[in-house]
């Protein structure tokens, strides 16, 4: 699999990647919108799957690729790392007797997520509006490109069977999986899965490698604290939610990014700049050259908007379609403003 889900040549190899000691990563290049990773931990006679992708077809493909390692160790446990659909809408493909768990914060947020039916409608609408001239067409084409590889019409939601507060230890086939809720950061309920006997940690969307992260929840200090907590666990192999497999260096790079962006957003805020203007200035700064090379830099706009809300003492971003649409309109504007600057 040397292509992205949209069929373009990919920057790195995807599919089922062995990490050693009975652990695997399922990697979807290049790690942009919806191109989420997942994981597999195989024990003695039982396995655990970490996340189930954005639609059932993708999850089916993944479980088929996992058939070899799980032949004598069926999937008995699944963990959903957070409430974003690209990490759990494939749940219905799991064996019926597999138990699914998540953090209590993520479980609550799942009830507030846009439904697959709503996403299918959005996908259809953006297909139409993408043909319009001007800004409506621009936003339509942007969102259509993001949703194109997925089939939301055939997603039956299967919610987790239970949830935990703070942290939990799960046993699968004689192995311990340490679950810890480290949000709010990317979302309200981000959890990590640490497999101490393998030195492997599934960081989900607390870590993006070579891809611009998105902060839907924040605050930024809480995300930085989460990254420090990940580093303290001393895992040599760390699987991001998006992008290729990394390790502590990639976690430190993510921490540097947030430290840099926090300062840049504060400076823009002091100048009274709104999110769109602030984002274009921040990304245009020579200091941002390395970060502009990360995939989808235009979505910095979302994190800047959320960080400004925190600075102004506003509550979390309302999870309405209108608010998201306004954000994506601005994301598409940033994309245009960056123009040919992007490699």
Piece of 34-42, 176-184, 264-272, 322-330 that binds Zn ion (CB under 5 A): 34-42
**Contact positions with Zn ion (CB under 5 A) in 282-321:** none
Q: Does 30 bind Zn ion (CB under 5 A)?
A: no
Cβ nearer to Zn ion, comparing 36 with 188: 36
Task: Please work out the total of residues on this chain that contact Zn ion, with binding judged by CB under 5 A.
Answer: 5
Q: What is the distance between the alpha carbons of residues 233 and 157, in angstroms, rounded to a whole number?
A: 33
> Kindly report the CA angle at 13 between 335 and 120, in degrees rounded to 5?
50
Cβ nearer to Zn ion, comparing 46 with 254: 254
Q: Does 205 bind Zn ion (CB under 5 A)?
A: yes
Where on the phi/psi map is residue 243: left (φ > 0), alpha (ψ -120 to 50), or beta? left
Cβ nearer to Zn ion, comparing 180 with 186: 186
**Residue 162's beta-bridge partner residues?**
101
Q: What is the distance between the alpha carbons of residues 101 and 46, in angstroms, rounded to a whole number?
A: 16
Cβ nearer to Zn ion, comparing 205 with 329: 205
Provide, rounded to whole angstroms, the least separation between the CB of residue 160 and Zn ion.
Answer: 17
How many other C-beta atoms can be found within 10 angstroms of the C-beta atom of residue 277? 14
Provide, rounded to whole angstroms, the least separation between the CB of residue 268 and Zn ion.
Answer: 26
Q: Which of 5, 25, 27, 36 binds Zn ion (CB under 5 A)?
A: 36
**Contact positions with Zn ion (CB under 5 A) in 60-89:** 84, 86
Rg of the chain in Å (alpha carbons): 19
Q: Does 90 bind Zn ion (CB under 5 A)?
A: no
Provide, rounded to whole angstroms, the least separation between the CB of residue 148 and Zn ion.
Answer: 17
Give phi and psi for 13, each to the nearest 5.
-80, 140
Q: Does 241 bind Zn ion (CB under 5 A)?
A: yes
Q: Does 183 bind Zn ion (CB under 5 A)?
A: no
Q: Does 191 bind Zn ion (CB under 5 A)?
A: no
> What's the 3-state SS for 227-244?
HHHHHHCCCCEEEEEECC
Peptide bond into 184 cis (omega under 30): yes
Provide, rounded to whole angstroms, the least separation between the CB of residue 241 and Zn ion.
Answer: 5
- Residue indicated by tokens 């390692």: 69
Piece of 24-32, 148-156, 233-241, 327-335 that binds Zn ion (CB under 5 A): 233-241
HSE of 48, CA atoms in CB hemisphere, 13 A: 28
Cβ nearer to Zn ion, comparing 170 with 205: 205
Provide, rounded to whole angstroms, the least separation between the CB of residue 20 and Zn ion.
Answer: 24
Q: Does 109 bind Zn ion (CB under 5 A)?
A: no
- Residues 17, 24 contacting (CB under 8 angstroms): yes
Piece of 3-11, 142-150, 197-205, 219-227 that binds Zn ion (CB under 5 A): 197-205
Which two structure tokens, joined as six digits, stand for 215?
Answer: 């902060």
What b/e readout covers 79-108, taking b as 16+ CB neighbours within 10 angstroms? bbbbbbbbbbbbbbbbeeebbbbbbebbbe
Piece of 36-44, 46-54, 69-77, 302-310 that binds Zn ion (CB under 5 A): 36-44
- Residue indicated by tokens 């260096």: 249
**Which residues contact Zn ion (rule: CB under 5 A)?**
36, 84, 86, 205, 241
């Amino acid at each position: 699999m040397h292509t992205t889900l949209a069929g373009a040549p990919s920057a790195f190899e995807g599919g089922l990647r062995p990490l050693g000691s009975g652990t695997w990563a399922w990697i979807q290049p290049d790690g942009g919108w919806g191109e989420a990773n997942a994981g597999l931990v195989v024990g003695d006679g039982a396995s655990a799957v970490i996340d189930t992708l954005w639609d059932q077809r993708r999850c089916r493909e993944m479980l088929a690729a996992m058939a070899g390692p799980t032949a004598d160790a069926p999937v008995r446990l699944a963990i959903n790392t957070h409430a974003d659909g690209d990490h759990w809408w494939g749940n219905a493909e799991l064996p019926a007797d597999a138990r699914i768990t998540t953090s209590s914060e993520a479980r609550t947020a799942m009830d507030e997520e846009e439904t697959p039916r709503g996403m299918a409608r959005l996908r259809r609408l953006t297909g139409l509006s993408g043909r319009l001239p001007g800004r409506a067409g621009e936003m339509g084409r942007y969102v259509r490109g993001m949703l194109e590889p997925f089939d939301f019409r055939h997603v039956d939601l299967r919610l987790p069977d239970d949830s935990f507060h703070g942290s939990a230890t799960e046993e699968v086939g004689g192995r311990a999986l340490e679950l810890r809720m480290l949000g709010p950061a990317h979302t309200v309920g981000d959890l990590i899965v640490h497999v101490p006997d393998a030195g492997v940690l599934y960081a989900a969307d607390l870590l993006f490698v070579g891809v611009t992260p998105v902060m839907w929840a924040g605050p930024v200090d809480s995300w930085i604290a989460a990254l420090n907590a990940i580093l303290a666990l001393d895992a040599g192999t760390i699987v991001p939610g998006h992008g290729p497999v990394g390790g502590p260096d990639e976690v430190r790079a993510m921490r540097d990014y947030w430290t840099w962006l926090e300062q840049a957003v504060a400076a823009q805020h002091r100048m009274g700049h709104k999110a769109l203007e602030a984002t274009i200035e921040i990304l245009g700064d020579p200091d941002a050259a390395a970060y502009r090379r990360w995939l989808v830099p235009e979505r910095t706009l979302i994190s800047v908007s959320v960080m400004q809300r925190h600075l102004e003492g506003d509550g979390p971003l309302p999870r309405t379609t209108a608010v998201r649409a306004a954000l994506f309109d601005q994301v598409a504007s940033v994309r245009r403003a960056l123009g040919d600057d992007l490699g």
